Structure 1
Amino acid sequence: MSEHLTYRKEIRPCVLTFDDIKKIFRELNKCQERAVEIEKKSWKKESFESEQVYKNFVNQRCDNYKISIVVNGANGEDLAGEDSTLFDSDNLPEEVVGVYFSNISWYRSMFGVNPAHCFAINIDFRKPPIIDFSTRSTDPTPNSSIVEVSGNDSLWVQSVVEAVKRVEREKSSNRNILHRPFAYDFVVWFLGIPVGVFGASKCEAFIGKYTDSNFVLYATCIVFFGALLMCFRGAFSYTKWAFPKIELIREGSATLKHRKRWSVLVGTIVLSVISSFVFKAISG
């Protein structure tokens, strides 16, 4: 008897559309058909009382070897179906936060056990809070996107994994640097603190014109430095929200609108800083 294999893998950062999700479903459907054929070979006719009992058993099992799809909405809506037309439905949630594929639900509800060759795939499109000071800066961005596959046939297990990985590779993004552990700590040390020190030095020069008190001067600079770091933390949270780990692109998405504004804002700041240094270099 072949060894039973179990595979569990997180889905890497990527940017998807409903066409990509349909593509995953089509590939999973092919895997499902192969799973049925593998199962049929394991059901020996001679172990049944009669040929009719065997046929009934096979038909009943095969009829319930089907893929369930659940689309989750941000407000608790769940839309369920069994084929890709679900993704064209007018009843789709306005904000989709998850898509779940599984060939376990129907089979288990009928027979009380999982099929011998089964999978559960969760694609999590949830985004972190737009401004978040509550989570620890060292923590990665929470995301429950995962592929879980189990079966006796190693080639079949690999084909299910590849159905997801193929689209994952095609639509991969470089956003992992934003969402990995210690991402904020790295950025704040190499960008946030230098910006804070630069801002505090400008604050010192400005406040020094209006007071002779060292206490007032340095207290103001410390507060200003802390405020800049808080703003930097807020800006980093906003960036993670605008560029989520796994994203579903839909027309009219609020994230796309925010991203355009983010690009304009960052571009303006960077251009201003470069212009300031160039002006000083020319005039100095």
Structure 2
Amino acid sequence: MFQSGKEDITTRLSRDRVACSFDKTELRAFLLILQERLDAAAELEIVHFQKNKQTDDEYEYNKNEIRLGYKLRPTLTGEDGRELYGTIDEVFESPNFPELVESAYLNSSIPLDAVHKFTVRNSVEVFLDFSRPAIFDFNLMPSQRTPNGTHYKVKGRDATWVNGLFHEMQSYLSRHRSPAPWMHEHSIYDIFLWLIGYPFAFWLCFKVSPFLPEGSAETAFVRAALYVYIFLMALVGLRALFHYSRWVFPIAEYRHIRSRVLSHRTFLAALSLGLFGTVLYDTFKALALG
């Protein structure tokens, strides 16, 4: 067991709900960037590490333990529940590496704290939540932000190191953004509903009106009820389509060569173009004839 030096002012920088898109190679490259900066942090730690009453051998041994303690040990969880923990090379070269990664977590302060009760000067914590929102879970309110735990936090007593790593992470993640993070923001669904949803529901009622019964007062009631039912079903269908769009374009995504996301995106584009293209065509046609 060994002790760190005196306490200084701690700087903390963090960001939540990070939009990002990684494949296996890009994720590994991101972690290697963090490891490179943590190697520098280990040397900063050693500069402030006091020898006190340690012997020369103990002092050198403990300095080496600090360097080893700054080696990243990420935890990766697959969609099948498989979990891998170890160094970057151990995890990414493992034959058990999951085909689809559900999440990735790392906290560089844990190894030294767990083994030696040693509080490091500088550390980084990252959680990448690659989970996708359920399509038919209507308990999720579409007007609210999509739940996602992706975040990163850098803290330490060396402000230059903290600021440098934080901005380097921001720069890397901005180059690997997911395609449509705006879709998961607050009130986007409300805008979609007013601009597209309600007009589509009215258009659908208009299109089916020739097929609804006419005549007596009873059939007039049935006709009115069917209009209401069709209108509501159109909104329910569009809500499912909106949830599906959020599933196809998650906030944080892990891409795999055998993933079917590309085919889903193609299907979503064709479906949206077919539905709303028809609505726009009928609208322009009506305005032209009018």
Same fold (TM over 0.5): yes
Q: Give the distance between the partners of 1:242 and 1:40, measured in 2 at CA.
A: 47
Q: Structure 1 vs Structure 2: percent identity of aligned residues?
A: 22
Are residues 168 and 129 of structure 1, via their aligned partners in 2, closer, same or farther at CA, if it must alter by over 3 Å?
same
Q: Give the distance between the partners of 2:68 and 2:99, measured in 1 at CA.
A: 33
Query: What SS class does the counterpart of residue 68 from structure 1 fall into?
Result: coil
Map of 2:278 onto structure 1: 272
Map of 2:237 onto structure 1: 231
Map of 2:199 onto structure 1: 194
Are residues 190 and 281 of structure 1, via their aligned partners in 2, closer, same or farther at CA, if it must alter by over 3 Å?
closer
Q: Give the distance between the partners of 1:174 and 1:18, measured in 2 at CA.
A: 18
Map of 2:39 onto structure 1: 33
Choose the corresponding residue for 2:144, options 139, 146, 152.
139
Q: CA deviation at 1:262?
A: 1.4
1:250 and 2:250 correspond: no
Choose the corresponding residue for 2:121, options 113, 116, 119.
116
Residues 85, 91 of structure 2: 8 Å contact kept: yes
Q: Give the distance between the partners of 2:150 and 2:47, measured in 1 at CA.
A: 33
1:9 and 2:29 correspond: no
Q: Give the distance between the partners of 1:134 and 1:223, measured in 2 at CA.
A: 21
Q: Give the distance between the partners of 1:56 and 1:220, measured in 2 at CA.
A: 80
Residues 181, 250 of structure 2: 8 Å contact kept: no
Q: TM-score, normalised by structure 2?
A: 0.88
Unaligned 5+ residue runs, structure 1?
Answer: none
Q: CA deviation at 1:275?
A: 4.5
Are residues 210 and 255 of structure 1, via their aligned partners in 2, closer, same or farther at CA, if it must alter by over 3 Å?
farther
Number of aligned residue pairs: give it.
283
1:261 and 2:235 correspond: no
Residues 68, 80 of structure 1: 8 Å contact kept: yes
Query: What SS class does the counterpart of residue 101 from structure 1 fall into?
Result: strand
Choose the corresponding residue for 2:220, options 214, 217, 220.
214
Q: CA deviation at 1:35?
A: 0.7
Q: Give the distance between the partners of 1:273 and 1:88, measured in 2 at CA.
A: 51
Residues 11, 147 of structure 1: 8 Å contact kept: no
> Deviation string for 1:207-265 (max 9, x for gaps)?
15576632111111001101100001111111110111111111110222211221222
Q: CA deviation at 1:87?
A: 2.7
Query: What SS class does the counterpart of residue 139 from structure 1 fall into?
Result: coil
Q: Give the distance between the partners of 1:183 and 1:282, measured in 2 at CA.
A: 31
Report matched runs for 1:52-131 at 5 Å.
52-84=57-89, 86-131=91-136
Are residues 40 and 196 of structure 1, via their aligned partners in 2, closer, same or farther at CA, if it must alter by over 3 Å?
same
**After alignment, is 85-94 or 175-184 more displaced?**
85-94
Q: Give the distance between the partners of 2:211 and 2:23, measured in 1 at CA.
A: 50
Are residues 50 and 223 of structure 1, via their aligned partners in 2, closer, same or farther at CA, if it must alter by over 3 Å?
same
Q: Give the distance between the partners of 1:270 and 1:228, measured in 2 at CA.
A: 13
Q: TM-score, normalised by structure 1?
A: 0.89
